Chain A
Amino acid sequence: MLSRREFLMAAVATSAIGGIGMSGQWARAAARQELSEADLLDMDGYGNVTLVHITDLHAQLKPVYFREPSINLGVGDVNGQPPHVTGKDFLDLYNIEPGSADAYALTSDDFVGLAQGYGKMGGMDRIARIVKSIRAERDANTLLLDGGDTWQGSYTSNMTQGADMIEVMNALKPDAMTGHWEFTYGADRVTEIVDELPFSFLGSNIYDAEWNEPAFEAFKIFERGGVKIGVVGQAFPYTPIANPRWMFPNWSFGIREEDIVRNVQAARDAGAELIVLLSHNGFDVDRALAKRVSGIDVILCGHTHDALPEPLLVNGTLLVATGSHGKFVSRLDLDVREGEIKGFKYRLVPVFSDVITPDADMTALVDKVRAPYEDELARVIGKTDSLLYRRGNFNGTFDDLICQALLEEREAEISLSPGFRWGTSILPGQDITVEDLHNACAMTYPSAYRSEMSGKTIHDILEDVADNLFNTDPYYQQGGDMVRVGGMGYTIDPNKTIGNRISNMTMLETGESINPEQNYTVAGWASISEDVEGPAIWDVVEDHLKKNPVVALEPNRSVNVISN
């Protein structure tokens, strides 16, 4: 845990180069619960460049509830460092009042009560309002950058293969983007879209697998406020490992640090005075990268869905984390002179949908792209008495529901649900609609498989995923959470090494230990293999809800975490 004193020192270090912590301003207004749009948007322009960052929208066109994690462990050097700080520790670290609007936006404590008070967050029409207001003030200085995971994650994006998001984003007019889940629409679809995009799709780390040469534009130079800005794109390095490689077999990814170094230098050689890495690496990977590679001024972080009220300064690089699902927009004003940042001013703008006026043009466009599907989106398929959410290292209630549906509908002994970090929340007492369900599982490889696995194979899978999450070298982390389990429990010690973290695997119903030699019937979804057979996961959950129309979940105690 970073102590308050250490944090203050870090804050002093950042303001030493001209930074002014802005989070306090809206924190105070929010504490009085008198938020106005001006409180959220007004910021005296500073310097000559304004970077506006959005990331990991996961195709959420409308405002949503999204509960941040209560458990987000960091291992090794980053234990207790942001973003691995949750709940009260987070509030203490950033001096946020419990129960305030920013406490609601940034943490999970008392989520249900605060959600009822502060309402939904996000929505593309609110985001459009923020972007337009910044551009109205300083269009010639502003660069809008999208960190990716934009085209996937909703019923409509899945039905249109991302076309709804592309139409909406084209209207928002970002200057560049990078990607991750975008690639799960397959190479042909991605190529077709990228060829038509009115802005750049950047990926320094995407290679043609056959010829081992760059497959995408690595960086682009923009000029804003008289400053040449080199934006290097970094797609999610482990896309072909975490997602089905067969969908884009000719593209190879990887961190490819040596290429970032090369492209940063190439951008400098081309006259760039400011280097921005538009990254989908994940926060810990970006922090490690900032320590190892110099010459990057700003990293706009994505993938791991962290929202931090202030940038983190690492080895002279500012790391900005803008959250997910449209909850936040980052605005970073920079004073760039003589090829370096002389000072900055930052604001993580929380997109409170009841406070920010929707942009009418964008509302109309969002309604237009959703119109063909409105009836199906609104169709009620159940109701929940429990809060349904996904985020957390080990489980989330939405996955408890999915795991239960898999066990019962697929007649399995054990169920597995991937540790995705996308998916919105539903408050107790709310109906569950088709839209809600698809927000938790809309994807292009939804088949729910049913197969036999030995206890040893299940153990190997848990160990493998745990190492993707808890390897002490961030370059070996993939950025998801633990695979969720149904029907079984286990003990995990995140601080151990691969092969040694998972123990006490037990069948919950009988209390019997899971035998490495015995085979168990396992149901799961989102297999990255080709030719997986089984019904789509949303059909499995809907069938389950037909038989069990009111969701009431018991607290999940199946994972025992050893922490020190």
Chain B
Amino acid sequence: MNISRRKVLALGAGLGAVVLTGFKANIAFADEAKTQAAIDAFANGATVESGKITLTAPEIAENGNTVPISIEVESPMTADDYVQSVMILAEGNPNPGVATLHFTPMSGVAAATTRMRLAKTQNVIAIAKMSDGSVVMDKKLVKVTIGGCGG
């Protein structure tokens, strides 16, 4: 039985594209400049360090439309030393900004879980600003794949 043209489009071209729209074989960092500008604005002149912040995300997205991620920042969360905010960026999305989370010492812990849409394979970035103005960042490459053929 043949599949109609419309059906093929709905299927995502045969082999079964998990995410048809926006699939690109190349890792595209078209919005790297936008991402860097957002990081610079957030850091406000502070040097961006690594450590203290952990971004957890799948290596390969099961569904690019809703990718679960979580962030956790090591901090005593006291009035003198706490995490002010965490910005989450998707480097390859048309608009890299995903969310900015705000914390206070009352938050107790600086941790959150959310879901995001990823148009294609790209780096996801989490960047945290501490109450003393220091800034830490973690990033992870999340692959968005056609899928199938595994065995």
Contact = CB atoms under 8 A, between A and B. Distances in A.
B140 to A, nearest CB: 10
Interface in B27-86: 27, 56, 58-60, 62-63, 68
Nearest to A497: B27
A463 B25 CA distance: 7
Given A529-B12, A532-B11, A450 B3 contact: yes
Contacts of A475: 59
Contacts of B25: 459-460, 463-464, 498-499
A461 B15 contact: yes
Interface string B107-151: 000000100000001000000000000000000010101111111
A461 B121 CA distance: 14
Among B8, B18, B24, B146, the most chain A Cβ lie within 10 Å of the Cβ of B146
Given A419-B149, A450-B3, A529 B11 contact: yes
A524 B56 CA distance: 36
Given A252-B68, A459-B25, A534 B1 contact: yes
A116 interface: no
A463 B27 CA distance: 12
Interface residues of A, number: 57
A245 B18 contact: yes
A271 to B, nearest CB: 28
Q: Which of A243, A258, A421, A457 has the most CB of B within 10 A?
A: A457
A460 B150 contact: no
B23 interface: yes
A91 to B, nearest CB: 27
Nearest to B149: A418
A467 B121 CA distance: 12
Contacts of A532: 3, 11, 16
A528 B147 contact: yes
Interface string B4-30: 010110011111111000011111000
B5 A452 contact: yes
Contacts of A254: 58-60, 62
Contacts of A498: 25-27, 121
A483 interface: yes
Interface string A147-178: 00000000000000000000000000000000
Contacts of B147: 241-242, 528
A380 B23 CA distance: 44
A524 B149 CA distance: 11
Contact of B11 (A463, A468, A481, A531): A531
Contacts of A451: 3, 8, 11, 13-14
Contacts of A457: 13
A476 interface: yes
A108 to B, nearest CB: 19
Nearest to B58: A254
B14 A242 contact: no
Nearest to B63: A245
Interface in A525-564: 526-529, 531-535
A504 interface: no
A418 B68 contact: no
Nearest to B17: A529
B113 A212 contact: yes
Contacts of A449: 3, 11, 14
A25 to B, nearest CB: 34
Contacts of A112: none
Contacts of A258: 56
A476 B149 CA distance: 15
Nearest to B23: A460
B15 A524 contact: yes
Given A419-B151, A534-B3, A464 B146 contact: yes
Interface in A222-259: 237-238, 240-245, 252-255, 258
A389 to B, nearest CB: 15
Interface in A385-420: 416, 418-420
B18 A241 contact: yes
Contacts of B59: 237, 254-255, 473, 475-476
A237 B61 CA distance: 11
29 contacts: A209-B62, A241-B18, A241-B60, A243-B150, A244-B16, A245-B18, A254-B62, A258-B56, A418-B151, A419-B151, A451-B13, A451-B14, A452-B5, A452-B8, A460-B24, A460-B25, A467-B143, A468-B149, A476-B59, A478-B150, A479-B150, A497-B27, A524-B15, A527-B148, A528-B18, A532-B3, A532-B16, A533-B2, A535-B1
Listed from nearest, the 7 A-B pairs whose CB atoms lie closest are A242-B150, A420-B151, A529-B16, A528-B16, A499-B26, A463-B25, A418-B149
Given A418-B150, A451-B8, A522-B14, 11 more contacts: A209-B62, A240-B63, A242-B149, A255-B58, A449-B14, A457-B13, A464-B145, A465-B149, A478-B149, A483-B15, A529-B17
